[in-house]
Amino acid sequence: RFGLHGGDAVVGNIGSSDRMNYTALGATINLASRLEGLNKNYGTRVLVSAAVRARAGHDFLFRSVDRIRPKGFAEAIEVSELRGELAQADEAEIAMCRRWDEVFASIAQEGASETTLVRLSGFLLDYPRDGVAQYHAGRFRRATEDPGDAA
């Protein structure tokens, strides 16, 4: 699994002459590490921040996954899944990503509304093993079981 984020970081040999270690430090590294760990929750392999998605331009196929607010960050971070090079993607893969982005837009705008739940259920009928859709469906299910836990 991979987490990708771009920005400033301190990279190099850090420590004293007795104990030297090559490492990377900073908020950029912390966010990339958090994204790597989130892959398990979403059933994905490569998660990227909005900064990476913007820098990659239109050469790669992405789909939106979530908005997270990592500890230490004032603003929420857009998280996307990198699906591969756009030139290598087939029409079915591109259509799945476009369809998911429509479902995700509904999630982001309307939350667990009836319309969103219908769209999400329809997506899961066509892609029952999709981890991202399963994650959001589970989140909505938990929110309806215990409205105090809505995220």
Pairing state between β 77-85 and 46-49: antiparallel
Mean pLDDT on 5-16: 84
Q: What is the pLDDT of residue 147?
A: 59
- Block residue for tokens 């009836």: 114
Three-state SS letters, 44-74: CCEEEEHHHHHHHCCCEEEEEEEEECCCCCC
- As a whole number of angstroms, the distance between CA 39 and CA 131 comes to 10
Q: What is the pLDDT of residues 80-108, one digit of tens each?
A: 999 999 999 999 999 999 999 999 999 99
Alpha helix ranges (H) inside the chain? 27-42, 50-56, 91-110, 114-126, 131-145
Average pLDDT, the chain: 90
